C-alpha cells in the first residue's frame, strides 16, 4: 500500500453505497447494461469469435447479462478481490495483476478498476491484461484529471490513485 493511501473495504456497505442506492450510486444497473451491450455488439460487429469472457473487477456482475445475450455459449469469468462479492456470487477471488489462467480470453472487460491499485500493481495489471486478452479488450479508468474535472465527488469514492 502506498504511503498516505487508505485501503478501501469492498464490503456490503461499499457496494450498497456506490452501486445499489439510487441516491448515491455512481451508475445504475441500466447504465452498465447499456455499456455492456454496446461493447458486446461492437465486438460482434468486428467479427471476433467469443468463447471466453473475463470481467476483471466484475463487482456485482452486471456485464454478465449482455455477454449472455450476445455470446450465449461463451464462458463468463467474474474476477474480483472483494471477499464479500466472491462469497455471494461465486466470482474468482484474485487481483487482475496476478490472475494467471491456463488460457487467455476472447473478450476482456476492465471497467474502472485500476484506479484502486497502487502504481506498481496497476502497471503489472496492465501488462497482465495483455496476456489475458487474445481478442477484444474494453478498458476504462478514472484518471486524476477525471477526478478533478468530471467526477461527481458525492457519488464517486475518493479512495483511488
Q: Is 161 a member of any domain? A: no
pLDDT band, residue 6 (cuts 50/70/90): very low
Residue 105 domain boundaries: 12-149
Number of domains composing the chain: 1
Q: Is 157 a member of any domain? A: no
Residue 158 cell numbers, joined: 475518493
CATH of residue 47's domain is: 3.40.50.150
Q: Is 144 a member of any domain? A: yes
How far, in Å, CA of 112 to CA of 128, rounded?
Answer: 16
Higher-pLDDT residue of 150, 113: 113
Q: Is 56 a member of any domain? A: yes
Find the mean pLDDT for residues 35-57.
97
- Does the pLDDT at position 154 exceed 70? no
What letter would DSSP give residue 8?
A: P
Instruction: Write down the pTM of the prediction.
Output: 0.85
User: How far is the CA of 139 from the CAs of 5, 9, 114, 115, 125, in angstroms?
Assistant: 24, 23, 9, 12, 12
- Does the pLDDT at position 4 exceed 50? no
Higher-pLDDT residue of 19, 84: 84
155: helix, coil or strand?
A: coil
Instruction: Report pLDDT for 22.
Output: 84
Amino acid at each position: 500500500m502506498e504511503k498516505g493511501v487508505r485501503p478501501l473495504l469492498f464490503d456490503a456497505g461499499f457496494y450498497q453505497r456506490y452501486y445499489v442506492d439510487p441516491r448515491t450510486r455512481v451508475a445504475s444497473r441500466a447504465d452498465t447494461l447499456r455499456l455492456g451491450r454496446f461493447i458486446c455488439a461492437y465486438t460482434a460487429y468486428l467479427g471476433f469469435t467469443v468463447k471466453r469472457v473475463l470481467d476483471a473487477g466484475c463487482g456485482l456482475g452486471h456485464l454478465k447479462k449482455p455477454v449472455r445475450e450476445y455470446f450465449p455459449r461463451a464462458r463468463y469469468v467474474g474476477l474480483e478481490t472483494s471477499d464479500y462479492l466472491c462469497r455471494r456470487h461465486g466470482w474468482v477471488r484474485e487481483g487482475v495483476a496476478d490472475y494467471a489462467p491456463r488460457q487467455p480470453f476472447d473478450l476482456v472487460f476492465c471497467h474502472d478498476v485500476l484506479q484502486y491499485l497502487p502504481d506498481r500493481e496497476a502497471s503489472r495489471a496492465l501488462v497482465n491484461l495483455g496476456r489475458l486478452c487474445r481478442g477484444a479488450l474494453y478498458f476504462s479508468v478514472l484518471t486524476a484529471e477525471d477526478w478533478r474535472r468530471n467526477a461527481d465527488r458525492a457519488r464517486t469514492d475518493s479512495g483511488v490513485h
